[in-house]
Amino acid sequence: MNDKLEEYILSHIDEEPAELARIDHDTHVQNYYWHMCSGHLQGRLIKMLTSMIKPRRVLEIGTFSGYSALCLAEGLVDDDCRVDTIEVNDEQEDFIRKHLALSPFGKRVCLHIGDARDIVPSLGERYDLVFIDANKRQYEEYYDLVMDHLNDGGYIIADNTLWAGKVVDPKAQHEAQTQGILAFNEKVKQDPRVEQVIIPMRDGLTLIHRL
């Protein structure tokens, strides 16, 4: 996709809410890995998918700056629904909490700091929707973890599943993160419990439906 086409797309979809534009700006200014922020197009898709699925409980693994968590929260039916979001980097906590507090949907989000592999079992929840956007080396582990807590008929959205095209680049096959994504994609493909589709948006977004 070239810049002109992306500009056209963004001008013909729902506008980016002001609080999300603020997060996007602050992420670019204050975070070295600013490119990991979901952004306008992917954020509107995440919000719409959440609205369509109508989950009561949502789990996010990998909060980063809180952009996607607020998109998930915006798509919820009401304030009785909740997003549990987990961020392993405690240095992000102040940034995340500040921007959650500035959003009208922040009260729907519960932030947990730590390793998802420890936190998810401790919460004792069942989820209707899970968004995975964390360490690519551990995607297989996250998949096994969340499937134990995903309701029948529930959905998983996994980000970065094309990994900048490295999944088909022979020169990148030895890289640990690429190997993690390749193993995850194969695992999902072979799992008879689910149906799945990869959307070639940005870095690849896989939608997984538990049957």
Q: Collapse the DSSP code of 18 into the 3-class scheme (helix H, G, I; strand E, B; otherwise coil) and give the result.
A: helix
Tell me, what's the pLDDT at 32?
A: 74
With CA atoms as reference, report the closest residue to 159 among 53, 3, 36: 36
Q: Collapse the DSSP code of 190 into the 3-class scheme (helix H, G, I; strand E, B; otherwise coil) and give the result.
A: helix
Q: Collapse the DSSP code of 71 into the 3-class scheme (helix H, G, I; strand E, B; otherwise coil) and give the result.
A: helix
Regarding beta strands 150-159 and 205-210, do their DSSP bridges make them parallel or antiparallel, or are they unpaired?
Answer: antiparallel
Indicate the pTM of the whole model: 0.95
Tell me, what's the pLDDT at 7?
A: 94
Give residue 108's domain range: 3-210
How far apart CA 161 and CA 58 sit, in angstroms, is: 20
- DSSP letter, residue 136: G
Tell me, what's the pLDDT at 36?
A: 79
With CA atoms as reference, report the closest residue to 105 among 46, 61, 62: 46
Task: Quote the number of domains for the chain.
Answer: 1
How far apart CA 43 and CA 59 sit, in angstroms, is: 16
With CA atoms as reference, report the closest residue to 44 among 23, 68, 80: 68
How far apart CA 71 and CA 58 sit, in angstroms, is: 11
**Tokens at residue 88, please?**
């392993």
| Number of residues in the chain | 211
Strand order across the 150-159 sheet: 109-113, 82-87, 57-61, 127-132, 150-159, 205-210, 194-199
Q: Collapse the DSSP code of 132 into the 3-class scheme (helix H, G, I; strand E, B; otherwise coil) and give the result.
A: strand
Tell me, what's the pLDDT at 35?
A: 77
Q: Which residues of the chain have pLDDT under 50?
A: none
CATH of the domain at 51: 3.40.50.150
Tell me, what's the pLDDT at 130?
A: 98
